[in-house]
Amino acid sequence: MKIDPQLLEFAKSMRHSATDAENLMWQLLRAKRFMNLKFRRQHVIASFIVDFYCHEIGLVIEVDGGQHGTDNVIGYDAERTKFLEALGFVVVRYWNHDVLREIDSVLEDLWNVCLELNSKSTSP
């Protein structure tokens, strides 16, 4: 399936307007700094742009701000997650304030998710 060039351009522009939480997460994930896994940021999957993506283990990470707590966005996020999971991806979500204030807890949770996915991808 061909990716919409406008979507790719928009993803690129989003890399330059990341939130503080996304910037912090990127500093921890980039250049295989986390569990030697390669992550991409603002990556296009189908018609969606995901915050972070690891192809090796099929993981999508979303870092959500307060707008994701509103009813209409909660519904949209649920549908989006369902779609991505149907493609075989695992989707995890962290709140901006948790990334900024509780990064150790976020990384511990992420470590456990990646460990589990990594063991599934390497088992016979």
Q: How confident is the model at residue 10 (pLDDT cuts 50, 70, 90)?
A: confident
**58 φ/ψ sector (left φ>0, alpha ψ -120 to 50, else beta):** left
Q: Which tokens hold the place of 3?
A: 């990716």
* Domain count within the chain: 1
- Can you tell me the mean pLDDT for 12-35? 93
Q: What is the pTM of this model?
A: 0.89
Q: What's the CA gap between 56 and 121, in Å, rounded?
A: 8
The answer to whether residue 91 sits within a structural domain is yes
Which structural domain range is residue 104 located in? 45-118
Question: What mean pLDDT comes out for the span 82-108?
Answer: 97
Does residue 9 belong to any structural domain of this protein?
A: no
Helix (H) or strand (E) holding 64: strand 59-64
